[in-house]
Amino acid sequence: MMLMAYLSYIMAELFYLSGILTVFFCGIVMSHYTWHNVTESSRITSKHAFATLSFVCETFIFLHVGMDALDIETWKFVNDRPGTSIIVSSVLLALVMAGRAAFVFPLSFLSNLAHKSANEKISFRQQIIIWWAGLMRGAVSMALAYNQFTRAGHTQLRCNAIMITSTITVVLFSSVVFGLMTKPLIRFLLPHSKVTSAPSGSSSPKSITVPFLGSTQDSFEDSPKGVQQPSSIRALLTTPTHTVHYYWRKFDNAFMRPVFGGRGFVPFIPGSPAERSEHKLPQLQ
């Protein structure tokens, strides 16, 4: 799994494409096919190994951002013109906020149009939280700025130095200010929201928890007049409706899975969460 993800990243770099998006979609494909071709022990090992690597890499990323924030060589170019750096930083922050709002609120409006139930709609307060929490920018912005405005990690031009220092300012301001105010904002806008605790059995080291999926059984029992309306990703995968997903599943089962494997082409593994969910659905039906 690690070599395949690294191979996708190397191929993207060779063709001057986005390595981040490549690894992201590689993870989606691996989750759909590769994840079901390994044993349950390998799944657990891979899950915890990737979680550990993610935590370590995130630590080094923030360490690198903090070290770049005190890069004297870059800051000395803007010492005589601090007002310009402040103006550029303010403009960049305003553009980030406007760009985030231009995506969150229209897409939330379209999402609410597709849902008739009030419980499934995204309220305006929730949209504000999504907009606010997504304003935090970090390592990717720093990497893009250094890649665009430096050569071998150094810059000798005043305008390039201003762009780098402005990026550092926006990253630090958004991470510290927006990060510290996110929790109080959630308490202020959603004071009655309750976080459901996970079941006691999910704390086992060998359990694989999948967030935002909910209970498959509840989705079948709560549907009116016995109509099966999948309300989670897992239920949608097992009982596809006549949508674009339905035709993709037909293509996937006919051409993709016989070659790459996936759910339905692996032997039965006792105790596997995927196997338990798949064998429970026929009984509910």
Tens-digit pLDDT profile for residues 241-273? 556 777 878 888 888 888 877 664 444 455 555
Q: What value does the mean pLDDT of the chain take?
A: 74
Task: Please state the pTM of the whole predicted model.
Answer: 0.58
Residue entry with tokens 């929490």: 133
Give tens-digit pLDDT for 177-228. 888 888 898 888 887 654 444 444 444 444 444 443 334 344 434 444 444 4
**pLDDT above 70: residue 59:** yes
**Is residue 69 within 8 Å of residue 142, measured between CB atoms?**
no
pLDDT at 243: 67
Residue entry with tokens 């897409």: 107
Q: How many residues does the chain have?
A: 285
pLDDT at 104: 92
* pLDDT (average), residues 225-248: 56
Q: How far apart are CA 175 and CA 96, in angstroms?
A: 13
**Is residue 80 within 8 Å of residue 102, measured between CB atoms?**
no
Q: How far apart are CA 78 and CA 75, in angstroms?
A: 6
